Amino acid sequence: MNSRQRVLTAFGRAEPDRVPINYMANPDIDRRLKAHFGLAADDAEGLRQALGVDFRGVGAPYAGPRLHAERPRRRVDPEWGRVTRWIEHGAGGYWDFCDFPLRDADEETIAAWPMPSPEDYDYSGIAERCRAMGRYAVYAGHAGVPDVINATGMVRGMEQVLIDLLTGDGAGLLLIDRRLEIQLEVLRRTLEAARGGVSFLWLGEDLGTQIGPLISPQVFREQIRPRHQRFIDLARAFDLPVMIHSCGSSSWAFDDFIAMGIGVVDTLQPEAKDMAPAYLKRRYGGRLAFHGCISTGGPVAFGTAADTIADVRATLETMMPGGGYCFSPTHALQDNSPTENVVAMYDAARQYGTYGKG
């Protein structure tokens, strides 16, 4: 099988030749892995090949004007106006969202907030990139599409977004719907430009904490589900499967996902409530495929290489039977993960993830 066939077979809840493999990582561990394999710092494709990754992404880069001005000691997203500041920690650092320029904004202010046009994206190279990656499982979208709660919280603040969803606040819902309308049209044009070269659509919405739901099922069904359904319907129009990313304890929403037309769930943090691999496989294995399960807060970060291998083997033994599983970290591998653990993780996936072999 090539990678595209392998992934689509797993998405169809059947057994491919081996478990498909994916990779996501923060910058420092990514840099260290490239150095480990003797690759140039910008050789992302070389690293994917070294790890045996079956997935590739395609999208339309933003080519429009800067809509939001730079600010001192901040990084400002030119498209959406998200503001971040650099936070140092023991293993490196990250850009954290701050200031929340639309936290107290009313409908008039939100209606006037600069946002990109679908015309501001460059679709010209998509078909060629899809052709070049034709043997891989090529996805459009990512975990930030439509991502109602998180992405809105980046400019409005998480607390206010949750209040907006609970109360039906007109300003907050307008902000959500303006952004989603743009995202949906950009995706539509991306899929049209791909000319059949996309294998699946990747969506996202974080719905859980470590111990339970982030929002109630009622709020999900009233506010989130109808907005996601438009993206799933778009995928259906192009005859594409849908995978959705959702952090934390999110299996409470899986029956809704199935009813909406979602076939694959991503992230699958095993330490969160009702997210253990055995639980997911037993309850949903006949109706969903899975992508994830290798915790970025587990042995790969805090154990030894031997611990990491044992965790990978246990996960594969649970999730592989009957097919329907793609090997992936639950999130981007974090900078506190030792290089040798990550290398062991992917070596184990290739060694023990082949069907018909022990």
- For residues 199-220, give the mean pLDDT: 98
Domains and CATH numbers, the chain: 3-64+116-352 (3.20.20.210)
Burial 14-28 (b: 16+ CB within 10 A, else e): ebbebbbbbbbbbeb
Q: What's the pLDDT at 223?
A: 98
Q: What is the pLDDT of residues 257-315, one digit of tens each?
A: 999 999 999 999 999 999 999 999 999 999 999 999 999 999 999 999 999 999 999 99
| 357 has pLDDT over 70 | no
Q: Which phi and psi angles does 118 have, rounded to 5°?
A: -55, -20
Instruction: Give the CA-trace dihedral at 298, 12, 224, 25, to 10 degrees.
Output: 30
Task: Name the helix (H) or strand (E) containing 112.
Answer: helix 107-112
Q: 358: how many CB neighbours lie within 10 A of its CB?
A: 5
Q: State CA 56 to chain mean position distance.
A: 13
User: Could you give the strand order of the β-sheet that contains 200-204, starting from the edge strand earlier in sequence?
Assistant: 55-57, 137-146, 200-204, 242-246, 264-267, 289-294, 325-329
Q: What's the pLDDT at 298?
A: 97
Taking the whole predicted model, whether its pTM rises above 0.85 is answered as yes
Q: What is the pLDDT of residues 118-144, one digit of tens each?
A: 999 999 999 999 999 999 999 999 999
d(CA 102, CA 157): 8
Q: What is the pLDDT of residues 85-116, one digit of tens each?
A: 999 988 888 999 999 999 999 999 999 999 99
d(CA 5, CA 24): 21
